[in-house]
Structure 1
């Protein structure tokens, strides 16, 4: 709770206080409007001798009516302005929690879970301020003020009215909270599942269609949706019954006020013209009490939202959360030292990386080779500084890799197997990581990767929209766009996370050659399970079960390891080996 709510309360308490005061003034003006209206009607019914006798109530009615609208609008403006700022900061905080896991976010979080957190959970926390804290503060203040006003005229009646109105201020909200807790929990759970089902269906729509089981999926999705609707109907039905009973209680309260004010008037303790005034003002006062039940019943939503947001953890103990000062950052080329590094994700799990050592001089090209789960990606995250080793150390020019924190992007670029192109112009996609790059620099990078002519042939050249996920480019062309981004970044170290996966061997070799030529002089860390292009690497590290099973250059491994030679023969077609020799 402290992580998501306390910072917002500390930072924006003035805005929330202003919104509360303005909303409170709006309610007081509404009460004043009905009070003076009741008084004016009663006074006019007595047929005053001169219109000036009721001139002040007339002006008061107009004044309260005008300022009620003014304060109501100003209160909503202030509350929404503050809440939108809080909402923006919460989303930014969510991004900050997700960003350290960006390189392996898909393996850590479901897409539907992140979508649910963004669209539902954060919105619910926004409602906490707008629909719970604000109405409760106003309602309690109006309750105290109303009882104080009645106490000025009759303490005993004020005490009885205080007890009676506790039904609306305390009893109804508590009953609503108890009654609706399970409904809200089931609704939140169902919506969360719907988000996961929807994203799963969208991402796998083609496979659903090809399997011929789309109708089965639709039936399951509709069933889940119907369950959610049933819960929502149950909530709506309860609210209608509760609100009806609340209105009945308010009606009884009006009758009680009429009887009390009539009795007070009969004894001369109250002017007869105030009977209607007191009887009408309760309707405005009740406006502050009725929303309290709905405000309190939403508490389970907030608890559920906070619980799910808590699941999106900040960097865990094994994840890097250290940050060095920018002045301490390595400058220029980087020497990477991996000294007897071991790492595992939990105390009960096997070592993901165990006793691995490396020394990479600036400009070295390293290939991390091994099957899935061998520890290649984990070692990459350790070098990148995203993970903190359990044993050993990873240093960059003598500085611990994990201490770079958010500044690591100044030293590393990542060329992944599925680069994402945003639905904006080609130029914006090229300069994504280098917003200060000039147009000429972007064109130079496009020429370097062989994309310039293709881009020039597009309808609007570099201003052409690439559409969602870069639909106007093929897979290989998207990799070239990502390569151009990397060029513009101009970082000393580039991580190649299987950028050629899914390509045929010839295209794969051509793209790798383009990557190696383009990034010449930079330190390359190439994560792959293929051996095509391995002959161009300065150092090869073959991993298995988290250990370094083989190390050396391509020629050294061919000479001393028959296993490596057999793997190379199986992985690299004969025609490609001939082209390499030639």
Structure 2
């Protein structure tokens, strides 16, 4: 713009040499062509730098979520976690690209321009500084004041929409069954409308503010015209620079106007920055790890174990003791909420008891956490199946196993005929969360994973919940047949299939109510006999 202005003024007088015009014209063309190139390079470098800066925080976020997922599930709703993942990192990147960088550049331009003019004319330099001060300080602060509450409201509404969306998707079957499809579709309509109205107000404010800033620059240009005509027209050499000086201020608007928008968005970024800066991965407090070989496992022992989730909650497990030897099958029974699944989490090492100790071969379970997948397999109520091929889902148990071994595992769990009747056979896509297979078939696929994993201890967390009695009986028979040599700890809520186990432990809120083999308890314990007959419908 400066060379363009100089060329305009110089062309108004007869040049001594054509080069006095031609050289600036070439420079103008070069700058005109080069400007988008330089702007692209600047954005490329700045984005690359920001992504490098944020990569450490991105890694910290995911490591924290992975290592302390239970904390997030306890303190945040699922929709909130979705919001954290989707917005926090992008907010941090936008803070650098849309707030910090533009502000720093605008402040530097303001200071340099004011000093440069101040050297030429101190009074006008100070006057320009005041005008630019309004643009880069006062207007941004005014934008924050006006938009802060509005942006906070938009963020809250968006967070509520995340939560509502999660709840609605998880409960969509119940909405459909109850015949309230329209209510389901309209459930978030009000929040969406409110969010749109608030965003439209923000857009209107932003348009009006930016237009006012542009008018402000026009006023600044007029001031420069007056100033240059008063101070730079005493001779021809000075006059040649009048347009150059005036036109040079217009590109400054590209550096100064975005500052207000960057400041305006700070309330959106503040919570994300505070949250990201306070995130810290859980410190690894595990003892020195021992690589226990699966074939060396002999005994799992729970010695006087007590556990509570926090000081305000009642003690969930109190003085629980049990010794389980290699190959033994143990069933844990008791009412819901008594802590049966918690015992499995303690055995895995996911939770630590406040009192007592859990050991494998005399070693604390915390010493085998690094390679615990060699020791434990888990089959729970709803095993997760990924939306990929059947072969890939089963191979999750051990990615080093061959296709033949995967097919053998599926045959052992009774799925061979079904799979080979499918068009794509073993390359059949199981669907999202296994939707192309029934509940019993999903459990059998997960059981095939366990066979590939080949760990000595298998934890069964009510794997037959929700299945009809015939399917449940067939699945239990398959489970105990294919896991014949394994140590099994089976959490169940009723007595169907207990004849497959060696020991039954029935716990209540205070203690172990009864324990023994199914045969012994049926013969000697009237309460167990009544429960068994009731469960069998006898």
Same fold (TM over 0.5): yes
Q: Tell me if the contact between 2:60 and 2:281 (Cα under 8 Å) persists in the aligned partners.
A: no
CA distance in 1: counterparts of 2:489 and 2:19, whole angstroms: 90
Alignment RMSD (CA, Å)? 2.9
Residue 322 (structure 1) aligns with: 285
Structure 1 match to 2:405: 441
1:496-522 deviation digits (Å, cap 9, x = unpaired): 221111111221121112112222323
Q: 2:95 aligns with which of 128, 142, 145?
A: 128
CA offsets per residue over residues 542-576 of structure 1, 9 Å max, x none? 232274333333234334533222222222345xx
The 3 A distance-change label for structure 1 pair 135 and 562 is: farther
Q: Quick one: structure 1 residues 154 and 473, their matched pair in 2 at CA, closer, same or farther if it must change by over 3 Å?
A: same
- Residues 225-253 of structure 1, C-alpha deviations (whole Å, 9 max, x = no match): 11111221221122122212211222222
Q: Residue 306 of structure 2 contacts residue 317 of structure 2 at CA under 8 Å; is this kept in 1?
A: yes
Is residue 413–residue 482 contact of structure 2 (8 Å, CA) maintained in 1? yes
Counterpart-to-counterpart distance in 1, 2:454 and 2:415: 18
TM-score, structure 1 as length reference: 0.84
Q: Distance in 1 between matches of 2:93 and 2:453?
A: 37
Partner of 1:248: 215
Paired residues for 1:153-552 under 5 Å: 153-266=120-233, 271-305=238-272, 322-324=285-287, 328-332=290-294, 333-334=296-297, 335-402=299-366, 404=368, 407-545=371-509, 547-552=511-516
With over 3 angstroms needed to count, the CA separation of the structure-2 counterparts of 1:254 and 1:510, relative to structure 1, is: same
Q: Max radius of gyration: which structure?
A: 2
Cα separation, 1, equivalents of 2:112 and 2:124: 15
Query: Could you tell me whether the CA contact under 8 Å between 1:415 and 1:495 is conserved in 2?
Result: yes
Query: Which stretch shows the higher mean deviation, 127-136 or 343-352?
Result: 127-136
> Within 1, Cα distance between the matches of 2:6 and 2:188?
59
Measure the CA separation in 1 of the matches of 2:531 and 2:440. 26
Contact 1:365 1:524 in 2 (8 A): yes
Q: Separation in 2 of the partners of 1:206 and 1:97? A: 33
Q: Structure 1 residues 139, 338: CA separation in 2 closer, same or farther (over 3 Å shift)?
A: farther
SS in structure 2 at match of 1:520: coil
Residue deviations 1:345-395 (CA, integer Å, cap 9, x gap): 211111122211222223332222222211112221111111122222223
Q: Name the SS for the 1:57 alignment partner.
A: helix
TM-score, normalised via structure 2 length: 0.90
Q: Do the aligned residues in 2 keep the contact of 1:87 with 1:123 (CA within 8 Å)? A: no
Structure 1 residue runs without a partner (length 5+): 1-33, 575-582
Q: Residues 145, 425 of structure 1: CA spacing in aligned structure 2 closer, same or farther, 3 A cutoff?
A: farther
Contact 1:542–1:551, Cα closer than 8 Å, also in 2: yes
> What's the CA shift string for 1:432-486, capped at 9, x where partnerless?
2433332222222222222233222322222222222223211111111111122
Aligned mates of 2:525, 2:53 — CA distance in 1: 60
Single out whichever of 99-108 and 200-209 deviates more from structure 2.
99-108
Q: Relative to 1, partners in 2 of residues 1:550 and 1:143: Cα closer, same or farther, differing over 3 Å?
A: farther
User: Is the counterpart of residue 98 in structure 1 residue 65 in structure 2?
Assistant: yes
User: SS where residue 282 of structure 1 aligns?
Assistant: coil
